[in-house]
Amino acid sequence: MNRWLTLPVAMLSITTAASACSARESSAVTIPSSSPEVVNQTPAPTQPGTVVGAARGTIPVGQEMDVRMSRSLSSETATVEQRFEATTVVDVVQDGRVLIPAGSVVEGIVSGVEKAGRLLDRKGSLTLAFDRIHVRGRSLPVRATATQVFESGGIREEAGTAGIGAGVGGVIGGLLGGTKGAIIGAVVGAGGAIAATDGKDVTIPTGAIVRLRIDSAVRVGS
């Protein structure tokens, strides 16, 4: 009689142990985050920009200016040729004369966008260009580009911070070291899994400071 009562108890113990093992296996894996990555905030300049070695009233090729974004942009939603505005942060001066006052509106376009995907790099990026500036009531055409491409870190950065067990870590390491186009979607062990989530898009928030470089000289004063 006792022998028959003992069997279900033993089976229950085995099931409980297996469930605990599965739970430990699952908790060892952290699915990488797909939240947007915000670009580093550049401190706003406090001194006027200075034009040197150019004709009077002219902003020369290579001159850099800092502008403040009037709205946010994200690689998740932005489209090529989408328009946006920014404002100059400080005065741009030449020989003590203000050529471009702080607060002047600069118009720009998104010249390149790459949305984050499910592949290994999983990076979002934005490239910005500027084509018009408003100075003291005058609207002037300009050719300028942002001095950097805004890009998220992608899954390669996430791999170093994901809370994963040694066995799962070996699988991730193999995937990251393999073909660039490989998709992460492997089931690991009895309870662990690495999910193929979307990558990180990059966001330039409202108020961010972006540095632009003039690509064609523009005359703004006499």
Quote the pLDDT of residue 201.
86
Tell me: pLDDT of 195 over 90.
no
Averaged pLDDT for residues 24-37: 47
Q: pLDDT band at 21, cuts 50/70/90?
A: very low
Tell me: pLDDT of 154 over 50.
yes
Tally of residues, the chain? 222
Tell me: pLDDT of 208 over 60.
yes
Tell me: pLDDT of 161 over 60.
no
Q: pLDDT band at 140, cuts 50/70/90?
A: very high
Backbone angles phi, psi at 70, to 5 degrees: -85, -15
pTM of the model: 0.65
pLDDT tens digit string along 48-79?
A: 999 998 999 999 999 999 999 999 999 999 99
Q: pLDDT band at 123, cuts 50/70/90?
A: confident
Ordered by where they begin, the domains of the chain are 37-153+200-219 (2.40.128.260)
pLDDT tens digit string along 72-122?
A: 999 999 999 999 999 999 999 999 999 999 999 999 999 999 988 765 556
